Amino acid sequence: MSSLHFKSENQSPKKNNKGFYVALGVCLVAVGVAAWTTYDSVVKYANPQDTSSYSTSPTGRTQSGVYASSKAEEASSQPQASAPQSAAPSSSKPAASSQAPDKTASSKPEQPAKQTAAKPASYVYPVGETPKVTKNYSGDNPIFSDTMQDWRVHSGTDFEAKIGDPVKAIDSGKVKDLYADGNLGNVAVIEHSDGITAYYCGLGDTFLVKKGDEVDAGQKIGSVNVVPIESVEKPHLHLEIKKSGKLIDPITLFK
């Protein structure tokens, strides 16, 4: 009996140790389960916040790593709207300065106008005081010629006069040429001012000037005779005028 009792006393510590380890394992498992549950709940709690922040925030704009809200956009847009207002005063200053050159520019043309205002050249009639015009300058329009019995342009103006009446220079100038023409008779050519060249046609055989002479306005240069191409008509002086080499209406010089 004593021996059996000894064996039972020796086996009791082993059973106690086994129960201790089982209890310890259960505790460790419980701690692990609690830790995992806590971790999982924390992760699930954090993830909805992250996804909601990305879905509600505007794209492309951040402030210190965080997406800006719509209120921040409104605040940032207000300084941009005020920028053009500050630029408005600067644009008004050049406009005021640009008015000053206009006043000076408008005052300058007045001086040349006074300087260029000169008395127009006055021409004297080649015959008489106010002779009658018997045939006008026709320009490019043909008119009927009583002498030639055809239609042709009349390149000058005919002033009524008597045979032998003195012919005068219409303005001061220089005698360029003296010659006889089969159609126009004796011709004196005088260069006047302003590009005017006068052809005095149908003069008598005696010229009162020679080539190269300087003449004054109203100076006698010859006398009235016959214009062969207009011989059927009454006696007259045929006057042709060129300005800068082109024929013009002679009567315009006396108006």
* Contact partners, residue 199, CB within 8 Å, separation at least 6: 156, 184, 187, 188, 189, 239, 240, 241, 242
pLDDT in tens, 40-63: 555 555 554 444 333 333 344 433
**Tokens of residue 249, six digits:** 């209406």
Residue 125 to residue 254: CA distance in whole angstroms:
7
What is the length of the chain? 255
Longest dimension (CA), the chain: 199
pLDDT for 41: 59
In this model, does residue 114 exceed pLDDT 60? no
Three-class secondary structure assignment of 129-192: CCCCEEECCCCCCCEEECCCCEEECCCCEEEECCCCCEEECCCCEEEEEEEEECCCEEEEEEEE
Judged on CB neighbours under 10 Å (0-12, 13-18, 19+), 247 is middle
Q: Give bridge partners of residue 208 from the DSSP assignment.
A: none
Residue 74 to residue 68: CA distance in whole angstroms:
11
Q: Is the pTM value of this prediction over 0.95?
A: no
Q: Is residue 137 a contact partner of residue 158, using CB atoms and an 8 Å limit?
A: no
Ramachandran quadrant class, 149 (left: phi over 0; alpha: psi -120 to 50; beta: rest): left
User: Confidence class of residue 193 from pLDDT cuts 50, 70 and 90?
Assistant: very high
Which residue, chain included where needed, has tokens 């039972």? 8
Residue 30 to residue 63: CA distance in whole angstroms:
45
Q: Is residue 204 a contact partner of residue 164, using CB atoms and an 8 Å limit?
A: yes
Percent of the chain at pLDDT above 90?
52
Mean of all residue pLDDT scores within the chain: 75
Q: How far, rounded to the nearest angstrom, does the alpha carbon of residue 57 sit from its chain's CA centroid? A: 53
Average the pLDDT over 176-186 and give the result.
Answer: 97
SS3 of the chain: helix, strand, coil, percent, to 5: 40, 25, 35
Q: Is residue 215 a contact partner of residue 176, using CB atoms and an 8 Å limit?
A: no
Q: How far is CA 95 from CA 30, 98, 106, in A?
A: 86, 5, 17
In this model, does residue 151 exceed pLDDT 60? yes
Domain spans of the chain, in order of start? 15-57+66-85, 133-254
User: Confidence class of residue 180 from pLDDT cuts 50, 70 and 90?
Assistant: very high
Four-way CATH pick for 133-254: 3.40.50.300, 3.30.420.340, 3.40.50.20, 2.70.70.10? 2.70.70.10
User: Confidence class of residue 19 from pLDDT cuts 50, 70 and 90?
Assistant: confident
